[in-house]
Amino acid sequence: DIVMTQSPDSLAVSLGERATINCKSSQSVLYSATNKNYLAWYQQKPGQPPKLLIYWASTRESGVPDRFSGSGSGTDFTLTISSLQAEDVAVYYCQQYYSNPPDLTFGGGTKVEIK
Amino acid sequence: QLMLQESGPGLVKPSETLSLTCTVSGASISSTTYYWGWIRQSPGKGLEWIGAFYYSGNTYYNPSLKSRVTISVDASKNHFSLKLSSVNAADTAVYYCARHGLSTYVRSHFDYWGQGTLVTVSS
């Protein structure tokens, strides 16, 4: 299976500052036939299910604020919150959907707090 | 507005079978072109994909759970179900149902989630 490793486990950022979360896959999730990275990002607040933010590594889901952006390719990916807002306090997860036969796996999560 | 809602017992005894149902509203499972699946979340193992089905018949399971999992659908009630047999304490988790977001593809992100239901395995 493809192991997803996130770093850091947690980070504290001042309001209005940039937050950067990393995700590394144990093998490439770039599918050469489509040139797409099979990677998504989610935000989870306490007591709620994960909410989809980004798919195809950099495509923002409808309704997601543009301060959230995804980048990277192959095995190394980043979720950036350009200007942290109070409502962004949450745990963030990456997920790969490249495995075939299907074995969809998630990273361990990164907790974002206000400094 | 698509909504999913999990239901089922919150407590299951070790070695028994966990059974949950996901009721879908706002779309018909039998007429959409999406996979529908189950995901669980526990403190020990984080988020774990359990499996998914497509109404036309394809079903896929997490290899590590495959021997114990069955996902089935009741189109007349617009719901689908999860059965996990021979449970133990490690199966204690919040169980979510979700829609795979890419039409006709099981290899997908998840765009709609239920609120989740906590299942505890204990005698």
**Averaged pLDDT score across all residues of chain A:** 97
**Which residue from B47, B62, B111 is facing A103, i.e. has the nearest CB?**
B62
**Which residue from B47, B62, B108 is facing A93, i.e. has the nearest CB?**
B47
Distances (CA, A) of A88 to A12, A21, A64, A91, A106: 11, 13, 11, 9, 20
pLDDT, one tens digit per residue, over A49-89 is: 999 999 999 999 999 999 999 999 999 999 999 999 999 99
CB burial class (10 A; 0-12, 13-18, 19+) of residue A100?
A: exposed
Mutation site, A94, A97, A111, interface B, largest B CB count within 10 A = A97
CA distance linking residue A23 with residue A93, whole number of Å:
9
CB A102 within 8 A of CB A10: no
Decide if A38 and B110 are in contact by the 8 Å CB cutoff.
no
The segment with the largest mean pLDDT, out of A15-29, B50-64, B97-111, is A15-29
Does the pLDDT at position B79 exceed 80? Answer: yes
Place of tokens 């707090």: A113
pLDDT, one tens digit per residue, over B6-21 is: 999 999 999 999 999 9
Query: From the CB of residue B52, how many other CB atoms can be counted at a distance below 10 Å?
Result: 28
Query: From the CB of residue A72, how many other CB atoms can be counted at a distance below 10 Å?
Result: 20
Least Cα distance to A98 among A26, A57, A39, A23 occurs for: A39
CB B82 within 8 A of CB B68: no
CA distance linking residue A5 with residue A76, whole number of Å:
10
